[in-house]
Copies of this chain bind each other. A is one copy, B any other.
Amino acid sequence: MDAAEFRKRGKEMVDYIADYLEKIDKRQVFPDVEPGYLRPLIPDCAPQNPESFEDVFKDIEKIIMPGAASPACTELETVMLDWLGKMINLPEEFLAGNSGQGGGVIQGSASEATLMSLLAARTKAVRQVQSEKPELTEADIMGRLVAYASDQAHSSVERAALIGGVKIKNISSDDTFRLCGSALKKVLDEDKASGLIPFFFCATLGTTSCCSFDKLLELGPICNKENIWMHVDAAYAGSAFICPEFRHLLNGVEFADSFNFNPHKWLLVNFDCSAMWVKKRSDLTGAFKLEPLYLQHHHQESGLITDYRHWQIPLGRRFRSLKLWFVLRMYGVKGLQEHIRKHVRLSHLFEHLVLQDERFEICAEVILGLVCFRLKGSNELNEALLKIINEAKKIHLVPCHLQDKFVLRFAVCSRTVESTHIKFAWQHISQLATDLLKTWEQKHQQQ
Contacts and interface: CB of A to CB of B under 8 A. Distances in A.
Interface of A: 3-4, 6-7, 10-11, 13-15, 17-19, 21-22, 24, 28-30, 32, 108-112, 115, 119, 122, 137-140, 142-144, 154-156, 158-159, 162-166, 208-209, 271-272, 287-288, 290-295, 313-316, 318, 390, 393-396, 398-401, 409, 416
17 contacts: A3-B21, A3-B22, A7-B15, A13-B14, A30-B396, A109-B316, A110-B315, A139-B143, A139-B144, A140-B143, A162-B287, A162-B288, A163-B288, A164-B165, A165-B166, A294-B399, A294-B400
Given A11-B11, A142-B142, A399-B294, A393 B28 contact: yes
Given A3-B18, A163-B163, A163-B288, 6 more contacts: A29-B393, A111-B313, A112-B314, A138-B143, A162-B287, A208-B292
Q: Which of A4, A119, A159 is most buried by chain B, counting CB atoms within 10 A of its CB? A: A159
Contact of A108 (B30, B295, B314): B314
A380 to B, nearest CB: 15
Given A159-B290, A398-B294, A316 B115 contact: no
Contacts of A115: 313
Given A11-B11, A162-B288, A165-B165, A393 B30 contact: yes
A138 B395 CA distance: 46
Determine how many copies of this chain the complex contains. Answer: 2
A162 B19 CA distance: 44
Contact of A6 (B21, B24, B164, B293): B21
Nearest to A296: B399
A176 B19 CA distance: 44
Contacts of A294: 208-209, 398-400, 409
Contacts of A272: 314, 316, 318
Contacts of A288: 159, 162-163
A208 B296 CA distance: 14
A17 B28 contact: no
A19 B155 CA distance: 37
Contact of A292 (B143, B155, B271): B155
A109 B318 contact: no
